A and B are shown apart, each in its own frame.
Chain A
Amino acid sequence: MYEEPYKWVEAVGNRRHYLDEQFKQGSPVVALPYDAGILLLTVSKGTPKLYEIYDRLALGGMGHPADLEKLRFSLLEMAHVEGFNRSPSDVTGSRMVKYGIAPVIKQAFEEVFKAPFIVKILLAELGQKTGKDSFLVINYDGTFDESTHGAVLAASKAIEQEMMTYLREHSSGVSLEQAAGTALRAWALGELAQRRAGEEATEGERDAVGSPMATDDASLYTHLRETVREKTIECALLDRNQQGSSKYRSLTSEELGRFLPKDIKPSLP
């Protein structure tokens, strides 16, 4: 039935629609540089969404856990074999994405008889020097964007842009504590926007005007207080000051607790 070109285009279009639906309830992911490295943050319901890939590479994901696992393993395999056969400095995020997983994701997306990867991926790479960090975001169709000052994953491009604007306004030369606060508020902003987008879609034309979304600290924290109650705040660092070759470490709940307002208490450790 897809032998005619326009039907194939139509099928891919349907697939895009289907995939967009899958991410609506997902938890956004935020990554931004701070003065000694990179911070990644998300809020999850137990299944981790932030992972160590290689000495200076960290992964954040959105979507189906099984798909994320599959791609995580191929990144790990690629990175370690390459790091062993050549050298750890040849394992770069850009190579992993461009010649590694992006083509695989694109192929799965366009083979309309098979299941696509329900996944969006963020790869953060700690540069050898400050200011040389890089962030890669891969969409479910295999397209990717590269940036140097942070990146986010969210249900739609529009929401991702809103979050990025917020990050840009708050994230130049910040300490770890400031970065954790900014990341958490950016997450809240994204989550709030996703929720609104969902409500607008169900309410349809009836109440489309709505009030503009409040993005001041107080209202973002109010939203957070409600949403994180039965969840975990996951936070990981690529820490330039970490001894040894592996720069990745998870932030402990005590450390995180020190950075957050006291009344924001995730229930899970």
Chain B
Amino acid sequence: MGMQGDFFQLLKEQGYQLGVAGVVGDGQEFTTATTILAFKYGDGVLVAGDRRATAGNMVMYDRTDKVLEIDRHSVMAIAGVPATAYEMVRILEHSFKYYRRTQLQELSFEGKLRAVSKLLKENVAAALAGTGAVAPIFAGYDFEQETAKIYFYDILGAEFEGVEYAVSGSGSPTIRGILHYLNTWGGQPLSAMSEEQAVIQALRLLTSAAEFDSATGGVNREANLYPVIKFITASGVRTMPDRQLKPLFETKVVRHV
């Protein structure tokens, strides 16, 4: 089976099992929750995520990185149980590399999408038990169609294309409406925005989500904490550094009406 370049299969042959379904005891709270979003702008796709991880009412961590680079041209933003999500990211990272190195060619974009779906399917039992539900956004550059694309998944592994945008996580209902409004009546469609305009909107969207969702972490200027924002274009994945987010946040996001 190794000859097919399937790393996940190789792991399973060695006895590995992803997402074990456990019985959840009463009053037990798992670390979860998030707001992640992705939309197409002028140059490609922007993917953004807040930094907070919570367990019930407790804030577990405020420096979580939920927008993870899988390889030079794809990114997975994670919502749900981070333990499972990080494990999936690690498997995907190794799977894409293993495929490239054994088969001497890159895995196609469609192949990458299938790989995400397969992992989620493998994890259904844990997702339904409540110990491992993950609903990610996968975005990457499709070299066959020469465009960056967005896909989002439900916890069972169904795959949907976000033609213009996609959102996930507990704060997403708030910003889904805003994205629709912006894209339809916002003066210009999201896809016509420059990089700077797109970043401003992403920061405003995440700030709105944090306003209404206690599980989404807003910007914390004292601690110098900003959301994670990445761009996907033909030349690969790029991260917006905090020192560039800071002035944009201060001049364009902090309320000045």
Say yes or no: A52-B101 contact (C-beta < 8 A), given A73-B2, A84-B94: yes
A interface SS class: mixed
Minimum CB–CB distance for A247 against chain B, Å: 12
B interface SS class: helix
Interface size, B (range): 10 to 19
A48 and B104 within 8 A (CB): yes
Could you tell me which residues of chain A, from 203 to 250, have a CB within 8 Å of some CB in chain B?
243-244, 246
Is B91 in contact with chain A by the CB < 8 A criterion? yes
Minimum CB–CB distance for A126 against chain B, Å: 15
Bound: A245/B42 CA distance, A: 28
Bound: A246/B100 CA distance, A: 11
B101 and A84 within 8 A (CB): no
Is B97 in contact with chain A by the CB < 8 A criterion? yes
A residues less than 8 Å from B104 (CB atoms): 48, 51
Could you tell me which residues of chain B, from 96 to 134, have a CB within 8 Å of some CB in chain A?
97-98, 100-102, 104
Is B3 in contact with chain A by the CB < 8 A criterion? yes
A residues less than 8 Å from B24 (CB atoms): none
Checking A51, A77, A244 against B71 with a beta-carbon cut-off of 8 angstroms, the contacting residue is: A244
Say yes or no: A84-B97 contact (C-beta < 8 A), given A73-B3, A73-B102, A244-B72: no
What is the total number of residues of chain A having a CB less than 8 Å from a CB of chain B? 16
B residues less than 8 Å from A81 (CB atoms): 10-11, 14
Is B90 in contact with chain A by the CB < 8 A criterion? yes
B97 and A246 within 8 A (CB): yes
Chain B, residue nearest A75 (CB): B101
Q: Please give me the 8 A-B residue pairs with the lowest Cβ-Cβ distance, nearest first.
A: A80-B98, A84-B94, A52-B101, A80-B94, A76-B102, A244-B72, A77-B2, A76-B101
21 pairs from A and B in contact (CB 8 Å cutoff): A48-B104, A51-B101, A54-B101, A55-B97, A73-B2, A76-B98, A76-B101, A77-B2, A77-B10, A80-B7, A80-B97, A80-B101, A81-B11, A83-B94, A84-B7, A84-B11, A84-B90, A243-B72, A244-B69, A244-B72, A246-B97
* Residues on B facing A (Cβ under 8 Å): 2-3, 7, 10-11, 14, 69, 71-72, 90-91, 94, 97-98, 100-102, 104, 236
In the complex, besides A83-B94, A244-B72, 10 extra interface pairs with C-beta distance below 8 angstroms are: A48-B104, A51-B101, A54-B101, A55-B97, A80-B94, A81-B11, A84-B11, A84-B90, A84-B91, A244-B69
